[in-house]
A and B are shown apart, each in its own frame.
Chain A
Amino acid sequence: MAESFLLEIVTPSRKLLSKDVEEVSAPACMGEIGVLSGHAPMLTMLNPGVISYKKGAESGAIAAGRGYAEVLPDKTTILIETAELDSEIDPESARQSLSKAEDALKNLTQDDPGYQDASDSYELALARVRLKERHKG
């Protein structure tokens, strides 16, 4: 059995998760990272997407917006503004917000000031839908 470490996910309105896990993977700004116990200390920005964790046979995932992850050998802290546990996501509204975000993105080009925000919310909506569909299948 692999060694476990503490994973904490906090948002401005609540502590979303505090749990012993064995493995975490998250969409860091320079590419997907996987964190195991004893990882070198690191501070990275996170892109919107799916954060997933594993402990033995148990696993879980979170749809998250932009944030930061602080990785220490025995503890990983993730700060995110908006995040949802997979059990909290309503598939219907997730799909609706995805198509809304898609439309918003279509009308913008890379140079528009709102492009970054729109693409962020698109990524977040996509992450939510993906999470839901993965669970069904």
Chain B
Amino acid sequence: MPSLRDIKRRIKSVKNTQQITKAMKMVSAAKLKRAQDEIIAARPYAEKMLSLISSLAAKTPSESHPLLRAASGENPKTAVIFITSDRGLCGSFNAVLLRTVERFLREAEYGVNLYLIGKRGIEHFKRRDIEVVKSRPYGSARPKYGHAVEIAHNVINSYLGGEVNEVRIIYSEFKSALAQRPVVQKLLPITPEKLAEAEEFQVEMLFEPSKDEVLSSLLPKYVEVQVFRALLESSASEHGARMTAMDSASKNASSMIGGLTLKYNRLRQAAITKELMEIIGGAEALKG
């Protein structure tokens, strides 16, 4: 049986925890809002890029550029860019992602080269017998386009160098603040079907310097944009997941405080009753 003082101490510590979770929830909500705004702000650039490339790719045979062509290396390997968060306390966000990547690794027919972004993923693969080509923390600041460029160049180079014949990216897609979904997306080779979804130009255009040159400089940019989008989505998902997790943690803390307070009051009352009984009993004994 815990003493009154023990329970009081418990209540206080749970209250402290609740304060922290509440603050974290509020911070995450603010960050989520910003991350969402960034996704929206990045959209026009990505859409324009996609429509330019698709109209160009439609007019050129798919063999014309190595990034469009399916690679036929002798040792087939897949490069995977895997994005997690740096920090925990965001519910099942990282667990779900790690499960997805594990399943992918199990089912992969070929060797896999991993590019890790985010400390959680790095920690997970630290003691594993898997080739990690590059890893970097996600960074606490908002995702920068420069980071996406760096990663994109890494995978493009290894793709063009024939080290891998496919590049995929695994990240958490942002559906809403309550729902995030891990996705496995193909990054390279760029498939024309995917490009065909976008609108096309009706007009003939002039190209400077030439159609091929414009296309070959645009394609790597497309990969950059995709990686950047994945980074943004992942950041929004992380904040969404943390917000939900912290919200339920605050709720749990509330109900725990409620239970503990009830127990505390009962115990206090019992103690008072007991004391009264003792006093009355003593008085009765003296009287008689």
Enumerate chain A interface residues (CB-CB to B < 8 A). Answer: 8, 10-15, 28-30, 40-45, 68, 70, 72, 77, 79, 81
Interface string of B153-166 (1 = CB under 8 A from A): 00000000000000
User: B45–A79 contact, CB under 8 A?
Assistant: yes
**Nearest CB in chain B to that of A66: its residue:** B217
Interchain nearest-CB distance for A47 vs B (Å): 11
- A-B contact list, 10 entries, CB within 8 Å: A12-B42, A12-B148, A29-B208, A29-B209, A40-B206, A42-B205, A43-B207, A44-B208, A79-B52, A81-B145
Chain B 34-58 interface residues, beta-carbon cutoff 8 Å to A: 38, 41-42, 44-46, 48-49, 52
B218 interface contact, C-beta 8 A: yes
For B, the interface residue count at a CB cutoff of 8 angstroms equals 26
Which chain A residue has the least Cβ–Cβ distance from B51?
A70
Q: Which residues of A contact B148 (CB under 8 A)?
A: 12
Q: Choose among B52, B145, B217 the residue that contacts A12 (Cβ–Cβ < 8 A).
A: B145
Kindly identify which residue among B45, B52, B204 contacts A11, using a CB–CB cutoff of 8 Å: B45
A10 touches B204 (CB 8 A): no
Does A10 lie within 8 Å of B44, measured CB to CB?
yes
Shortest Cβ distance from B166 into chain A, in angstroms? 25
Cα separation A129 to B214 with both chains bound (whole Å): 29
Q: Is the CB of A45 within 8 A of B145?
A: no
Partner among A13, A40, A68, A81 whose Cβ is within 8 Å of the Cβ of B38? A13
Identity of the chain A residue whose Cβ is nearest the Cβ of B145 in the assembled complex: A12
Known: A13-B145, A79-B48. 18 other contacts (CB 8 A): A12-B228, A13-B41, A40-B206, A41-B206, A42-B206, A43-B52, A43-B207, A43-B214, A44-B206, A44-B207, A44-B214, A45-B208, A45-B214, A45-B217, A68-B52, A70-B48, A70-B52, A72-B203
Please report the C-alpha to C-alpha distance between residue A42 and residue B208 in the assembled complex, in whole angstroms. 8
Q: Could you tell me the distance between the alpha carbons of A121 and B218 in the complex, rounded to whole angstroms?
A: 19
Q: In the complex, are the beta carbons of B209 and A45 less than 8 A apart?
A: yes
| Bound CA span A70–B207, Å | 10
B225 within 8 A of A: yes
A73 to B45, CA, bound (A): 20
Contact A14 B41 (CB under 8 A): yes
Minimum CB–CB distance from A43 to chain B (whole Å) comes to: 5
B199 to chain A, nearest CB (A): 13
Interchain CA distance A95-B135 in the complex, whole Å:
35
B209/A30 in contact, CB under 8 A = yes
CB of A56 to closest CB in B, whole Å:
27
* Assembled-state Cα–Cα distance A14/B44 (Å): 8
